């Protein structure tokens, strides 16, 4: 497939589009329901057409024909972080059906769908897969870790490659060396606060003490007491999953601070000059929901080579 074109559904901050462009794909059209996400995407990818809309209501006649459909439907109804399936997440889970609607209307040669691995356990996943099969697509689900793509973060995600072929395709993506989190920390920037200060939680102090025993004076840790939040995390390995909330803290001897959006941006694999909203919470939310561009690039490039 030469000079491939794509559209990006649920485009968010633009990780899929950034990766696609790095793989030589022209992204024609992008959509998201959140205006801040659309504005961010358009700031970074002005050559694409943008739409802010609930994609259940999209007029697919307005979408240009394309070779590749990229889509990251909402994961909040599937991820274990939200617990078991609940009725008020039905709307989030149902965003996946927009992928089927667009595929039916436009029949691109390839679909690449990203979500959390729990998407495969969705009670309606068999119906979702059957719908795509009836449209002539063969599905290849793969569970991959961003760290294996040179992203300084362990982020396990599901990618479903759907092709208009008789049989599912197989991708053989070479793993890249892991990049340690130390490389993205801006040590001489931002404001730090003393660890020992009035009001600091005793649980936080205990987690810091636990981590010092294992990692010395410098380390990172989630700012709550679960998983590596109990023990800290070495700077010489990728960070854990970056989420939509302000999760990760850095300890440097007797001071500490939270990760900054510029560090999260690098931790997700975005370019250092990628534009983000100035509001901290909005920038972190966008990044935590994004597809890691290096993952998207390698997957798209390999798919183009074999599809």
10-residue stretch averages of pLDDT, the chain, 307 residues long: 88 98 98 97 98 94 97 75 52 87 98 97 97 98 98 98 96 96 96 94 89 95 70 93 94 97 98 98 98 98 94
- The pairing of strands 218-222 and 193-194 is unpaired
pLDDT at residue 225 in the model: 59
Determine the distance from the C-alpha atom of residue 30 to the mean position of all C-alpha atoms in its chain, rounded to a whole number.
16
Parallel/antiparallel/unpaired status of strands 110-115 and 68-71 = parallel
Complete DSSP assignment for the chain? --S-EEEEET-TTSHHHHHHHHTT-EEEEEEES-HHHHHHHHHH-TTSEEEES-GGG--GGGSPP-SEEEE----TTT-GGG-S--GGGHHHHGGGHHHHHHHHHH--SEEEEEE-GGGGG-TTHHHHHHHHHHTT-EEEEEEEEGGGGT-SB--EEEEEEEESSSS-----PPPPPP--GGGG--TTSS--EESS-TT--HHHHHHHHHHHHHHTTEEEEESSSSGGGTT-B-TTS-B----SS--EEEEETTEEEEPPHHHHHHHTT--TT----SSHHHHHHHHHHSPPHHHHHHHHHHHHHH-
Question: C-alpha angle with apex 95: 94 to 99, nearest 5 degrees?
Answer: 115
d(CA 190, CA 109) in angstroms, rounded, equals 47
User: Which architecture, in CATH terms, is 5-178+278-306?
Assistant: 3-Layer(aba) Sandwich (3.40)
Q: What is the pLDDT of residue 227?
A: 56
Give the C-alpha separation, 182 to 253, whole Å. Answer: 15
How far is residue 114's CA from residue 209's CA, in Å, rounded to a whole number?
A: 38
Burial of 230 (0-12, 13-18, 19+ CB in 10 A): middle
Predicted local distance difference test score (pLDDT) of residue 93: 79
Distance CA 252, CA 191 (A): 12
Please state, in angstroms and rounded to a whole number, the distance separating the CA atoms of residues 145 and 239: 12
Sketch the domain layout of the chain as residue ranges: 5-178+278-306, 187-259
Phi, psi of 43 (to 5 degrees): -60, -35
């Amino acid at each position: 497939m030469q000079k491939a074109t794509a559209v990006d559904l649920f485009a968010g901050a633009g990780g899929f589009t950034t990766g696609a462009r790095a793989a030589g794909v022209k992204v024609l059209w992008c959509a998201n329901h959140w205006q801040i996400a659309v504005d961010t995407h358009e700031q970074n990818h002005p050559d694409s057409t943008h739409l802010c809309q609930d994609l259940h209501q999209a007029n697919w006649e307005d979408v240009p024909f394309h070779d590749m459909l990229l889509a990251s439907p909402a994961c909040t109804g599937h991820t274990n972080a939200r617990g078991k399936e609940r009725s008020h997440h039905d709307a989030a889970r149902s965003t996946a059906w927009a992928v089927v609607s667009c595929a039916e209307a436009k029949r691109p040669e390839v679909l690449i769908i990203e979500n959390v691995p729990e998407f495969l356990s969705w009670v309606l996943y068999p119906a979702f897969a059957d719908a795509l099969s009836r449209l002539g697509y063969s599905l290849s689900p793969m569970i991959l870790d961003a760290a294996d793509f040179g992203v300084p973060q362990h982020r396990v995600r599901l990618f479903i490659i759907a092709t208009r072929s008789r049989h599912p395709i197989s991708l053989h993506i070479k793993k890249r060396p892991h990049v340690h989190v130390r490389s993205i920390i801006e040590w001489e920037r931002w404001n730090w606060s003393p660890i020992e200060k009035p009001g600091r939680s005793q649980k936080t102090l205990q987690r810091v003490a636990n981590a010092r025993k294992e990692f010395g004076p410098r380390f990172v840790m989630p700012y709550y007491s679960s998983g590596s939040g109990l023990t800290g995390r070495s700077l010489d390995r990728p960070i854990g999953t970056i989420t939509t909330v302000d999760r990760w803290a850095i300890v440097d001897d007797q001071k500490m601070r939270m990760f900054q959006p510029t560090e999260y941006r690098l931790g997700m694999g975005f370019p250092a000059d990628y534009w983000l909203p100035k509001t901290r919470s909005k920038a972190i939310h966008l990044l935590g929901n994004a597809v890691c561009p290096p993952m998207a690039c390698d997957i798209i490039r390999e798919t183009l080579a074999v599809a």
